[in-house]
């Protein structure tokens, strides 16, 4: 069972600020979904390898060469706040 | 028929015969948008001026005697999770409401090279999380066949645009059914390619091991033309398959003789609307009468696909969506005490309820102490689900099933219960988990609502899907029907 405390912990990990109403709702809904997911425990998967990815691709390398890159001005154009060539954020320490 | 209701290949024939111009096609589509968009609300952004400029450019090429590619001058709609240089790309989320990408997704580049005319960016469930387009952070899209009903999702805007004549073809993305299910609900053709067949570069990531871009079209021929335009290896996507692509139009043969088609019994059982089953039964009879060898088969782990999917996709999403922090682009909350407070406020105000729910679920499934029990377990069951398909394809060329358990449902009908909404993808999810291709084609109507037939193929077996779908289309007329708006 997931408690409101678990929901608060996960919300912090996910950097989400939830209202009391949201905490209640997600506690209820996550419990329902995870209870449904218990169905997977009907299956013995001890000797089954996991599939993270379906393609038989391993590391995909390229030559270590400088390619085309986006001009800094175009990249910074979407910044909510900037200073010179930097993204600006509220104080950290 | 009106120009806006023709197929791309019909329009191409008229273009090269100089009976119409690309500008006229463009005008027909935008006039249609002006007439019906208030009711449908398929688009988040329209790119009218660009579209007309582009259409005139194509006309100049034709006038100069240049040979133009088959999709030249064809108006296409792009789901709003594919980056378009200089054109807002929002994922129908408040957190990206003002994001203007500085580059194009590879598929957008490829469609430009193919000469298509982008009409605009279509509405979707926020970050592609949903099955009805009701989770859009902006507004709800209507189903052109019944305005009270949903167009499906998450690519509901693209499906509705093609069905309503507001675009000739469109692109969507499919993580658990988000192309095939809305195609079924809106009575158009929708194909999810094999994982790795189409580049994901510039597609805003939801669940990276499941996401694939694919086309919406009015018939199977247009589907082949769109695949020709968008498939292929891309060095910018490390999960792009290094393979040569065939000319998919060469697969358009009216012939299914000797093809082995399996019908997984798990897709025709409990939870499937009897009226849908009946239509699928008629499709089976038709294909059998045309020489296909059809047999019942089994995919024994089918019932585990939904819980598997709803652990893996949110886990990947929670990681992918960590990037929305208000630093580099998109929405940023005001009045934050410090940087962590800014992240938290930005994300809480920017994401809608379903996106938060999936981030919460995924974060939980990946968190210390639960990773093995949920995420790793789901990856192992994913192997079993994939092995079911591998075994079926040892015997069968194609599998056949409904695309969705019911026709389009009413707006608001499933919004209260997330699990009910997730159930509308039970026929499509496993295909993404296995990474294989699936197509939905119009197969009939129930009370005036379209029903989709799903064909599922081997990895990179799109050609066989097109062949069966094309054959079905030659002997039916469901794909020629248009909603009256």
Q: B235: which chain A residues are within 8 Å (Cβ-Cβ)? A: 62
Any domain includes A3 = yes
* pLDDT value of residue B422: 87
Mean pLDDT of B125-143: 98
Any domain includes A1 = yes
CB atoms within 10 A of CB B448: 11
Above 90 in pLDDT, residue B355? yes
DSSP B357-402: HHHHHHHHHHSTTTIIIIIIHHHHHHHHHHHHHHHHHHH-SEEEEE
B93 is catalytic: no
Q: B336: which chain A residues are within 8 Å (Cβ-Cβ)? A: 90
* pLDDT value of residue A72: 92
CA distance B485 to B483: 6
- Tens of pLDDT along B32-52? 999 999 999 999 999 999 999
- Name the pairing type of β-strands A82-83 and A86-87: antiparallel
B380 is catalytic: no
B348 is catalytic: no
Residue B239: both structure tokens together: 């999960």
- Give the side-chain half-sphere CA count within 13 A for B17: 7
Tokens 């020489």, residue located: B291
- Name the pairing type of β-strands B75-79 and B169-174: parallel
Whether the Cβ atoms of residue B99 and residue B137 lie closer than 8 Å to each other: no
| Domains by residue range for chain B, with CATH | 3-259+459-480 (3.90.1300.10)
Q: B327: which chain A residues are within 8 Å (Cβ-Cβ)? A: 79-80, 87, 89
Any domain includes A21 = yes
Backbone φ and ψ for B377, nearest 5 degrees, come out as: -60, -45
Beta strands, E only, B225-317: 260-264, 293-297
- Tens of pLDDT along B2-17? 999 999 999 999 999 9
Mean pLDDT of B164-176: 98
- Give the side-chain half-sphere CA count within 13 A for A11: 26
Any domain includes A88 = no
Helix (H, G, I), strand (E, B) or coil at B160: helix
Q: What is the pTM of this model?
A: 0.97
User: For residue A27, what are the domain limits?
Assistant: 1-44
Containing B172, the helix (H) or strand (E) segment is: strand B169-174
- Tens of pLDDT along B51-80? 999 999 999 999 999 999 999 999 999 999
By CB neighbour count within 10 A (0-12 exposed, 13-18 middle, 19+ buried), where does B416 fall? exposed
Residue B311: both structure tokens together: 């652990």
Above 90 in pLDDT, residue A53? no
Above 80 in pLDDT, residue B358? yes
- How sure is the predictor about B421, in pLDDT bands with cuts at 50, 70 and 90? confident
CA distance B351 to B66: 48
Tokens 């038989």, residue located: A56
Which domain CATH number covers A17?
Answer: 1.10.20.60
Q: Which residue of A has its CA nearest to B238?
A: A60
The answer to whether the peptide bond before residue B56 is cis (omega within 30 degrees of 0) is no
Above 90 in pLDDT, residue A67? no
Q: Which residue of A has its CA nearest to B241?
A: A55
CA distance A23 to B224: 47
Residue B454: closest CA among B181, B178, B131: B181
Q: What is the Cα gyration radius of chain A?
A: 22
Q: Any chain B CB within 8 A of the CB of A73?
A: no
- Tens of pLDDT along B224-274? 999 999 999 999 999 999 999 999 999 999 999 999 999 999 999 888 999
Interface with chain A: mutation pick from B101, B327, B364, highest number of A CBs within 10 Å: B364
Residue B195: closest CA among B206, B184, B210: B210
CA distance B197 to B435: 10
* pLDDT value of residue B418: 83
Q: How many domains does chain A have?
A: 1
Beta strands, E only, A20-93: 82-83, 86-87
Q: Given its phi and psi angles, is residue B170 left (phi above 0), alpha (psi -120 to 50 degrees) or beta? A: beta
- Tens of pLDDT along B271-309? 899 999 999 999 999 999 999 999 999 999 999 999 999
Given CA atoms B110, B234, B433, B80 in this order, what sign does their dihedral have?
A: negative
Above 80 in pLDDT, residue A57? no
Any domain includes A81 = no
Say which residues have a Cβ less than 8 Å from residue B423's Cβ, sequence separation at least 6. B271, B306, B405
Whether the Cβ atoms of residue B452 and residue B132 lie closer than 8 Å to each other: no
Helix (H, G, I), strand (E, B) or coil at A87: strand
* pLDDT value of residue B423: 87
Selecting among B136, B154, B158, B406, the annotated active-site residue is B154
CA distance B2 to B170: 18
Any domain includes A58 = no
Residue B79: both structure tokens together: 């789901």
Whether the Cβ atoms of residue B185 and residue B151 lie closer than 8 Å to each other: yes
Any domain includes A29 = yes
User: Most distant CA pair in chain A: distance in Å?
Assistant: 58
Given CA atoms B348, B353, B355, B357 in this order, what sign does their dihedral have?
A: positive
CB atoms within 10 A of CB B46: 20
Any domain includes A56 = no
Above 80 in pLDDT, residue B470? yes
Q: Name the residue facing A45 among B326, B345, B381 (closest C-beta).
A: B381
Expressed in angstroms, the distance from the first to the final Cα of chain A is: 37
By CB neighbour count within 10 A (0-12 exposed, 13-18 middle, 19+ buried), where does B347 fall? buried
Which range has the top average pLDDT, B74-88, B363-377, B408-422?
A: B74-88
Q: B305: which chain A residues are within 8 Å (Cβ-Cβ)? A: none
- Give the side-chain half-sphere CA count within 13 A for A9: 10
- How sure is the predictor about B386, in pLDDT bands with cuts at 50, 70 and 90? very high
Residue B193: closest CA among B127, B140, B239, B149: B239
B214 DSSP assignment: E
Q: Any chain B CB within 8 A of the CB of A26?
A: yes
Residue B231: both structure tokens together: 């498939």
Residue B265: both structure tokens together: 């019994």
Above 90 in pLDDT, residue A62? no
- Give the side-chain half-sphere CA count within 13 A for B301: 30
B86 DSSP assignment: T
């Amino acid at each position: 069972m997931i408690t409101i405390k678990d929901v608060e912990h996960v919300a912090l990990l996910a950097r989400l600020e939830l209202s009391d109403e949201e905490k209640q709702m997600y506690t209820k809904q996550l419990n329902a979904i995870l209870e449904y997911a218990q169905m997977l425990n009907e299956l013995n998967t001890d000797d089954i390898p996991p599939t993270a990815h379906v393609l038989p691709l391993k590391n995909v390398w390229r030559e270590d060469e400088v390619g085309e890159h986006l001009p800094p001005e175009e990249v910074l154009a979407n910044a909510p706040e900037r200073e010179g060539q930097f993204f600006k954020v509220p104080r950290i320490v | 028929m009106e120009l806006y209701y023709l197929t791309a290949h019909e329009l191409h024939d008229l273009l090269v015969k100089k009976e119409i111009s690309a500008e006229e096609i463009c005008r027909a589509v935008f006039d249609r948008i002006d007439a019906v968009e208030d009711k449908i609300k398929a688009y988040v952004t329209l790119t009218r001026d660009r579209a007309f400029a582009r259409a005139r450019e194509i006309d100049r090429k034709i006038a100069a005697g240049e040979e133009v590619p088959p999709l030249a001058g064809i108006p296409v709609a792009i789901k709003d999770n594919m980056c378009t240089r200089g054109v807002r790309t929002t994922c129908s989320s408040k957190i990206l409401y003002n994001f203007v990408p500085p580059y194009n997704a590879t598929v957008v580049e490829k469609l430009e090279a193919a000469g298509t005319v982008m009409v605009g960016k279509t509405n979707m469930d926020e970050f592609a999380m949903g099955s009805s387009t009701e989770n859009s952070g902006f507004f709800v899209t209507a189903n052109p066949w019944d305005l009270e009903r949903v167009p499906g999702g998450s690519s509901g805007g693209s499906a509705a645009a093609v069905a309503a004549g507001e675009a000739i073809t469109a692109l969507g993305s499919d993580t658990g059914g988000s192309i095939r299910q809305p195609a079924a609900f809106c009575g158009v053709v929708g194909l999810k390619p094999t994982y790795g067949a189409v580049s994901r570069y510039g597609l805003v990531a939801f669940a990276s091991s499941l996401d694939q871009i694919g086309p919406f079209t009015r018939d199977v021929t247009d589907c082949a033309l769109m695949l020709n335009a968008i498939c292929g290896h891309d060095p910018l996507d490390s999960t792009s398959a290094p393979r040569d692509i065939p000319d998919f139009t060469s697969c358009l043969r009216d012939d299914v003789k000797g093809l082995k088609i399996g019908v997984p019994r798990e897709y025709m059982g409990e939870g499937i609307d009897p009226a849908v089953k009946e239509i699928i039964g008629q499709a089976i009879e038709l294909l059998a009468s045309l020489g296909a060898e059809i047999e019942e088969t089994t995919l024994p782990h089918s019932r585990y696909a939904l819980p598997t999917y709803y652990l893996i996709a949110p886990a990947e999403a929670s990681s992918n969506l960590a990037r929305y922090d208000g630093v580099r682009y998109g929405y940023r909350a005001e009045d934050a005490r410090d940087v962590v407070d800014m992240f938290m406020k930005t994300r809480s105000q920017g994401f809608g309820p379903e996106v938060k729910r999936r981030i919460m679920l995924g974060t939980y499934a990946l968190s210390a102490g639960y990773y093995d029990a949920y995420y790793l377990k789901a990856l192992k069951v994913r192997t079993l689900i994939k092995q079911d398909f591998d075994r079926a394809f040892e015997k069968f060329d194609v599998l056949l099933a409904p695309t969705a358990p019911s026709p389009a449902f009413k707006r608001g009908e499933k919004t209260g219960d997330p699990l009910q909404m997730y159930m509308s993808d039970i026929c499509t999810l496993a295909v993404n988990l296995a990474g294989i291709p699936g197509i939905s084609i119009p197969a009939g109507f129930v009370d005036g609502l379209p029903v989709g037939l799903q064909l599922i193929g081997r990895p990179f077996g799109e050609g066989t899907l097109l062949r069966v779908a094309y054959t079905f289309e030659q002997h039916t007329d469901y794909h020629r029907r248009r909603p009256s708006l």
